Copies of this chain bind each other. A is one copy, B any other.
Amino acid sequence: MVRKIRKTPFEELSFVNNCTFGPLNKPVATVKPGEVVEVETWDCFANLVKPDQTLKDVLESDTPLYDNPVTGPIYIEGAEPGDTLAIEIISISIPDMGVTTVVPGFGGLEGWLKSSPPLTKFSKIIDGKVIYTLNDERETNIPVKPFIGTIGVSPASEAISTVTPGKHGGNMDTPEVCPGNRLYLPVAAKGALLGLGDVHAVQGDGEICGTAIEIPSIVTMKVDLIKNKSIDWPRIESSDEIMTVCSARPLEDAVRLAFLELIKWLEEDYELERYDAYMFLSVAAKARLAQIVDPLFTVVAKLPKTHLQRM
């Protein structure tokens, strides 16, 4: 039987409990390792931007604008600092509409374009395709590739905004956090204190204007616990790739960290020496630029598993 976790009602949302990952935040549910849960999530604007209400309307109103509110924290029984969460993402539901915005003062080309007025664009989603309106005269289709934009656990002592990615996961905006893949997160606080939200129906590399096709969703996932196994940064495993997800500024540091974590993984689990791993990545690794719009920038480094089998 699948455990359902509902999102916090709008009027009970809190800038602390729903908009940070922190050790003092109050759990909304407790889950046993191995349980499958169905988590209802807000979109990145707490569903405030709707067909009859543009981002500009919201910004001009008195309604508090929660940034990336997450559903949680979910307390994982038995999770302690030094363990690792292994989260198998089973499915992500898609509504019939998504929203894309430009938020003034935010976005990858903020300051590089002449101005950044608040802009809102709605897209219908039909039969697994985003019907994207380029302008008044033209539209195109983009196949959905849904993923969880923000998912993380509590740091050891800090409480980090749900807008920021880091070692704890958070707002990684990484398309590889998708159905079929397993996400590993380092437990740093008792109970792990998992939270998630900010699902995207599909996103371009870099998420350059600051948002993707933003949707509310229901995420089905299995949360497992690996005891006494610690990792430094989030990792992802698909059927055919191993991946590391690191966030930093400037962007080259995110790339360096992600490759360094991949090298460590190859040393630990695949019996490769450090410099053999380094040189191999230089000829065979893949990388994805996840986003360059949040307080830290996120990069995913990948290696196909096919190269890692012993012969």
CB distance from A249 to the nearest CB of B (A): 4
**A63 contacts the other chain (Cβ, under 8 Å)?**
no
**A272 contacts the other chain (Cβ, under 8 Å)?**
yes
Binds B, one of A29-37, A207-215, A234-242: A207-215
Q: Would you call B208 and A259 a contact (CB within 8 A)?
A: yes
Interface residues of A (CB under 8 A from B): 15-16, 19-20, 22-24, 100, 102, 107-115, 117, 119, 121, 130, 132, 134-135, 137-140, 142, 156-161, 202-213, 249-252, 255-256, 259-260, 263, 272-276, 278-287, 289, 292, 297, 299, 301, 306-307, 310-311
Given contacts A24-B159, A102-B278, is CB(A289)–CB(B287) below 8 Å?
Answer: yes
A278 contact from B109, B212, B260, Cβ within 8 A: B109
A115–B251 CA distance with the chains assembled, in angstroms? 23
Given contacts A252-B250, A275-B119, A282-B209, is CB(A139)–CB(B311) below 8 Å?
Answer: yes
Q: Would you call A259 and B135 a contact (CB within 8 A)?
A: no
CB distance from A129 to the nearest CB of B (A): 12
Report chain B residues within 8 Å CB of A307: 134, 140, 142
Q: Give the 7 A-B CB pairs with smallest separation, nearest first.
A: A111-B111, A250-B250, A209-B282, A159-B159, A251-B251, A204-B285, A205-B287
CB distance from A166 to the nearest CB of B (A): 10
A282 contact from B19, B208, B283, Cβ within 8 A: B208
